[in-house]
Amino acid sequence: MGRVVLITGGTSGIGLALAEAFEADGAEVVVCGRSQAALDRFAQAHPRALAVRADVTAPDARAALLDAVSERFGRLDVLVNNAGTFVERDFTGDDAATGELDAEVDLNLTAPIHLTGEVLQRWPALGAVVFVTSGFALVSPTRAPTYGAVKAGLHGFADGLRRQLAPRGTHVLEVLPPTTDTPMNTGTTGPKLSPAEVAAVTLRALRGRRPMALPGQTRLMPTMLRIAPQSLGRMVSRL
């Protein structure tokens, strides 16, 4: 049996592309999501995989998800924290600027931290933890400042966790995609990277045990932050 990989939000977009890439690489794949229809479509297209309905913001659902992984495979080797949402918020006069803020923070930040802790309690020798953050974790988008904030929080968690788990040999990888051609970005104009390319860069980074995977335009961001942060800020201000 190949390595066992759990991908949250694995039925569409980057999560689906990752599921397909891991499967092609010989892994046993588990995906979770909240839409039963999407899970059914995934299961039909990928009969080898395990598709579990789970809201990762709910503690009981996370426990049931990990129980399902244990019952089917007996172990977990790679956790991919991918599930998330993008919410535009205007703080210049919108009375509803903070509407459903707790739900956004919970899905994008709190839930992956909880799930990571719960996975490590069950499988202390986990091979790798992957966090799909965003290029916006480094420079926050003008139209969605809270999205930048939660992704920056997840970026910080991944950074500290990497050092904490290094003595165990657990690889912590952060993936920072640019704007990608996913359902979340349907209404977004401008260039978009394909989910398949994000997945390919992710698997290469895992094989190389690199700390970060920087697909597409994001590969330039760390350098620009050092040498031209104002220029990068102006670029992001248009997004």
Give residue for tokens 């069950």: 122
Among 193, 154, 197, 192, residue whose Cα is nearest residue 174: 154
Greatest CA span in the chain, whole angstroms?
Answer: 55
Q: Round to whole Å and give the CA distance between 74 and 56.
A: 20
Per residue, the 3-state secondary structure of 92-121, as one string, reads CCCCCCCCCHHHHHHHHHHHHHHHHHHHHH
Residues counted in the chain: 239
Cα gap 239→220, rounded to integer Å:
17
Distance separating alpha carbons of residues 5 and 88, to the nearest angstrom: 31
Tell me whether residue 147 is one of the annotated catalytic residues: yes
Q: Write down the catalytic residue from 147, 150, 152, 214.
A: 147
> Apex CA 26: angle with CA 20 and CA 27, to 5°?
70
Given a contact cutoff of 8 angstroms between Cβ atoms, the answer to whether 76 and 116 are in contact is: no
Which residues does the annotation mark as catalytic?
A: 147
